[in-house]
Structure 1
Amino acid sequence: MPSSSILLIDDHALFRSSVALMLEMRLPRTTVSERSRIEEASAQACRPPDLILLDLQMKGTNGLETIALLQERWSSARVVIVSAFDRDQVCEAIQRGAVEFHSKAECPEHLLQRIQALLSGEPPEPRTIAATPLPLTSRQRQVLGLLCRGLTNKEIALQLWRSEHTVRSHVQAILTILQTSCRTEAADAARRLGLVL
């Protein structure tokens, strides 16, 4: 793996330093930059990071809004949330563009493996979403069920008494939440996650 760059943003100095030390020891070809605030990170003039590890719960910062700011600043960087577990925030962070969410309470070895995988270009781990109930609305669950039965958007719209445009919006939201790129992948993911029979 060629040299990579990680930006770690967390306001807890002990946690930040511990994670940075682990990464430097286990990923010697990786440069790790630490920042305690989003403003410090945004002002960073060095090489754009390949991966950003972000705590959502920092003083004076809306971590969810921070995801968009970081992606605007470094569009090619993948944002991974490493934070206290909050089901609502997990779901919203994924919807806003974070590729994975990891609890600060999880095994450090698992976090390290996921960081290595992401730096190697592997896709995000679906388990990070499936670990919590998915933020699908009841209507999206209905659409997903019909999608899994092979119905087209038009057929779903007729069955649910909705416009085709509305169904298309629901399908797009479902693809985003399940981190899939097409209807077939979404149906496979839904079956794998036990969302449909």
Structure 2
Amino acid sequence: MTEAAAPGESGERRVRVVLVDDHRMFRTGVQAEIGETERTGVEVVGEAADVDQAVTVITATRPEVVLLDVHLPGGGGVEVLRRCAPLMAVPEDPVRFLALSVSDAAEDVIGVIRGGARGYVTKTITGTDLVDSIFQVQDGDAVFSPRLAGFVLDAFASTDAPPVDEDLDRLTQREREVLRLIARGYAYKEIAKQLFISVKTVESHVSAVLRKLQLSNRHELTRWATARRLV
């Protein structure tokens, strides 16, 4: 972890970050600690104080990593993750989330990890270690403060492995993304905007999903997805 500053100094590594926290002074402090690109390799490209602001800024800037507080006005970090799910699912350049919170409660940790965050660190972390964690998350690794990893291991170890779903396996990754958004009640135009594709492409994906799952309409599709807890 002592090498965290090296990426910025070498010019070889850069990571674009959005800070999401409802305390302005904390955001300012983090920005001062990690946001000197030439020193750390981290560029802070946006900030947000609530769920709506977060979704807007993340969608507009498409950062590599989002530092996400758990408790936010408008639904909390889990709601940000839910609304940004399509951005996390982009195969070529996904947006990845690292929870950064004062809370070390097991339910908070498990909630955001189930929501799609790649890690969870507490606000007692040093600036050097935070920079190192950001680069690890950018690489797709999971990062936790030492004490918190046990919560996640216990939570997932106590859950039976899900059975293989042959029907779901027939769908491509993009078809699964469209399926989830349809099941959540999104209109075709909204899905097209979220996934950066045309309405016609959305329609093609929906038709393919209905055909592969042998369903007749979006209402049956919604029930199918809900029964499998995909929504």
Would you say same fold, with TM above 0.5? yes
For the residue of structure 1 that corresponds to 2:112, the secondary structure is helix
User: Aligned partners of 1:77 and 1:169: how far apart in 2?
Assistant: 26
Aligned to 1:91: 110
User: Aligned partners of 1:49 and 1:21: how far apart in 2?
Assistant: 18
User: Aligned partners of 1:22 and 1:34: how far apart in 2?
Assistant: 15
Percent of residue pairs bearing the same amino acid type:
21
Post-superposition offset of 1:125: 3.1
User: Aligned partners of 2:40 and 2:107: how far apart in 1?
Assistant: 32
User: Is the CA contact 1:99–1:124 (under 8 Å) kept in the aligned structure 2?
Assistant: yes
For the residue of structure 2 that corresponds to 1:169, the secondary structure is coil
User: Aligned partners of 2:121 and 2:163: how far apart in 1?
Assistant: 27
The change in CA–CA distance for 1:52 and 1:29 in structure 2 (over 3 A counts) is closer
Aligned to 1:34: 47
Post-superposition offset of 1:53: 0.8
Aligned to 2:98: 80
The residue type equivalent to 2:27 in the other structure is: R
For the residue of structure 2 that corresponds to 1:82, the secondary structure is strand
Q: Output one character per residue of 1:79-124: Cα deviation in whole Å (capped at 9) or x when no partner.
A: 11111221111012112211000111233322221112333x2522
Report how many residues are paired: 144
User: Is the CA contact 1:53–1:79 (under 8 Å) kept in the aligned structure 2?
Assistant: yes
The change in CA–CA distance for 1:113 and 1:168 in structure 2 (over 3 A counts) is closer
User: Aligned partners of 1:106 and 1:4: how far apart in 2?
Assistant: 19
Gaps of 5+ in 1: 141-166, 173-197
User: Aligned partners of 1:21 and 1:29: how far apart in 2?
Assistant: 11
User: Is the CA contact 2:17–2:46 (under 8 Å) kept in the aligned structure 1?
Assistant: yes
Aligned to 2:23: 12
For the residue of structure 2 that corresponds to 1:135, the secondary structure is helix
For the residue of structure 1 that corresponds to 2:100, the secondary structure is strand
User: Aligned partners of 1:14 and 1:99: how far apart in 2?
Assistant: 25
What does residue range 19-168 of structure 1 map to in structure 2 within 5 Å? 19-25=30-36, 26-28=39-41, 30-44=43-57, 46-73=60-87, 75=89, 76-83=94-101, 84-119=103-138, 121-125=139-143, 130-132=149-151, 134-136=154-156, 138=158, 140=159
Structure 1: 4+ residue segments shifted above 6 A: none
User: Aligned partners of 1:91 and 1:171: how far apart in 2?
Assistant: 23
